[in-house]
Structure 1
């Protein structure tokens, strides 16, 4: 199952198994962990950033068309600009949560 949020789709999260999560053996062996679809977290993150780039590129193209008068429907630009703004805000929010989680882990006592 995938869900679309502001132009980004995220694969369904695998169920967390016993201690260590779904891929504890591969993570312990030094290989990158994978999601249910077989893609590593880095691959998923990279693809989502690429999609963000595409959404922003579409908004930029439509903005240039609107500025030159080549755009037939102004609503297309408004939709693309809003989608790019929401997508960017979501990615920034996810980044902030990731940094916050990393800082919490670094502050833990061993």
Structure 2
């Protein structure tokens, strides 16, 4: 199982070769792997939702008395917690970057 942190960090890592970006170049929004930043963030959010759904399903099974493996439940709950924390931190950094750009323009 791939951890959510390594999945997101590997997905948003910058390209290995830095090339100058021309102003108005729309290809700059696409990474070396051919994925746009928006699609990377979208897939990371989808992954976060799937991880949280899995943890919720296991919690419901435990609450209703169905037999579950406690180890799997704890792993899923921890993964959901870490994935949510990572998502919130990425959002916070994006907001900080946006605010900084707006300050530079003003």
Tell whether the 8 Å contact from 1:33 to 1:41 is kept in structure 2 after alignment: yes
Query: Distance in 2 between the 1:89 and 1:96 partners?
Result: 11
Listed as ranges, the gaps of 5+ residues in structure 2 are: none
Do structure 1's residue 6 and structure 2's residue 4 form an aligned pair?
yes
TM-score, structure 2 length as denominator? 0.81
Q: Distance in 2 between matches of 1:32 and 1:46?
A: 18
**CA distance in 2 between partners of 1:91 and 1:34 (Å):** 21
**Among 83, 86, 89, which residue is 1:87 paired with?**
83
State how many pairs are aligned: 101
* Larger strand percent: 1
| Aligned pairs for 1:33-48 within 5 A | 33-48=29-44
Superposed CA RMSD in Å reads 2.2
List runs of 5+ in structure 1 lacking aligned partners.
Answer: none
Matches within 5 A, 1:23-42: 24=22, 28-30=24-26, 33-42=29-38
TM-score by length of 1: 0.79
| 1:107 maps to 2:103 | yes
Whichever structure has more helix as a proportion of its residues is: 2
> Which one has more relative contact order, counting CA pairs under 8 Å at least 6 apart?
2
Alpha-carbon distance in structure 2 between the residues aligned to 1:80 and 1:50 = 16
Distance 1:49 1:109, change over 3 A: closer
Contact 1:13–1:35 (8 Å) recurs in 2: yes
